[in-house]
């Protein structure tokens, strides 16, 4: 069975909620989903996955959240050829216009180094997911699943 793994980190709950919507979206497409928080995973988390998903907020001025730093460094050393990946970011474009969702784009580049294939454009969400964002998350999941071999 196709396995989707979702790695996420969240400080105030917005990205956790997004990760739950991602889980629902992939499960609705009849895929098996494992969703884990950054603190609970190592760099090899995606090695047995068919689809690798990262959901992250952005901290500081465009920084990777502290809780994701080790995973961010480690995952780019892995070889993930043949797998699909996608990244979802939560950020605040009003308060951090110059750094909107930068951590998500950093992860996009990190995952590209693994040899995995980007299966959808990085999805950016303004703080907490609202109804229209849930639709975008569902479309994001469908786009990725459509690229399965
Ligand atoms: C100290 C601090 C720094 C932040 N820096 C950024 C940033 O550089 N870029 C951005 O898009 N959002 C930034 N944000 C906004 C958060 O990423 C955004 O509110 C996000 O939804 C928080 O996710 P969470 O609820 O999962 O923790 C920052 C928020 C805080 C509190």
pLDDT digits 0-9 by tens, 61-110: 999 999 999 999 999 999 999 999 999 999 999 999 999 999 999 999 99
Q: Which atom of ligand 1 is nearest to the CA of 16?
A: 26
Q: Which atom of ligand 1 is nearest to the CA of 102?
A: 9
Q: Which atom of ligand 1 is nearest to the CA of 128?
A: 21
Tokens of 105: 């784009």
**How many whole angstroms separate alpha carbon 2 and alpha carbon 63?**
32
* CA 124 to ligand 1 center in whole angstroms: 12
Architecture of domain 3-146 in this structure: 3-Layer(aba) Sandwich (3.40)
The DSSP string of 126-144 is ESS--HHHHHHHHHHHHHH
ipTM of the assembly? 0.99
Strands 3-8 and 51-57: parallel
* CA 91 to ligand 1 center in whole angstroms: 5
CA nearest to 133, candidates 87, 95, 90: 90
- What are the residue boundaries of the structural domains of the chain, listed by start? 3-146
For 10-55, write each residue's pLDDT tens digit: 999 999 999 999 999 999 999 999 999 999 999 999 999 999 999 9
């Amino acid at each position: 069975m196709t396995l989707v793994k979702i790695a996420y980190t969240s400080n105030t709950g917005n990205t956790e909620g997004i990760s739950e919507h991602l889980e629902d979206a992939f499960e609705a497409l009849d895929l098996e989903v494992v969703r884990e928080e950054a603190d609970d995973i190592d760099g090899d988390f995606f090695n047995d996955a068919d689809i690798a998903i990262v959901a992250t907020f952005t901290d500081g001025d465009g920084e990777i959240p502290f809780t994701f730093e080790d995973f961010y460094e480690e995952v780019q050393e892995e070889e993930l050829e043949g797998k699909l990946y996608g990244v979802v970011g939560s950020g605040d474009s009003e308060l951090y216009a110059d750094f909107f969702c930068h951590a998500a784009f950093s992860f996009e580049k990190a995952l590209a180094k693994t040899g995995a294939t980007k299966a959808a454009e990085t999805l950016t969400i303004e703080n907490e997911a609202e109804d229209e964002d849930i639709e975008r998350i569902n479309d994001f999941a469908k786009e990725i699943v459509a690229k399965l071999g």
